[in-house]
Amino acid sequence: MQLQIQVPFPLLKEAMQLHLAGADATKAAAVAGGIALRSLIKTGKLASAAAGQGGQGEVQAVGVAAVNKLLVAIEDVIKKTVKNVLEKAKEKIDEARASKRTVQQ
C-alpha cells in the first residue's frame, strides 16, 4: 500500500519527494519548511493576517530567515553533489592513467 500525501505547494511536494528518495532528513525538512514559509509570505497570506495586528515586519523577518535557511540547505546539497561528482571523475581518471601505464610498460 502506497501512502498518498496531499501537499498544497508544488515546491514543497518536490522537496518531500527528494526526502523520500533518500536525501538527508534535516536538509529536506529545512528545504520543505523554507519553501512553505516563502510561499505563504510571497502570496501575502501571513503578511496580510499580521498587518492588521501590526506584525508585518515580524512576518517579513521570519520570511528572510526561512529563505536564508533554505539557501544554506541548497548550498550544502550542491557542495555534496559537486564533491561526489569530482571524486568519481578523479577515480575514473586515475583508472585510465593506471591502465595506460600498464600498456606502455
Number of compact structural domains in the chain: 1
In a domain, 1, yes or no: no
74 pLDDT higher than 70: yes
1-47: pLDDT as tens digits: 444 444 455 555 565 565 555 556 666 666 666 667 666 666 666 66
What values do phi and psi take at 29, rounded to 5?
A: -65, -40
> For residue 94, which amino acid is it?
D
The residue range of the domain holding 46 is 10-104
Instruction: Identify the top-confidence range among 27-31, 54-58, 92-96.
Output: 92-96
User: Residues of 73-94 as b/e, b for ≥16 C-beta within 10 angstroms?
Assistant: beeebeeeeeeeeeeeeeeeee
In a domain, 87, yes or no: yes
Q: pTM of this prediction?
A: 0.47
In a domain, 86, yes or no: yes
Which is more confidently placed, 20 or 92? 92
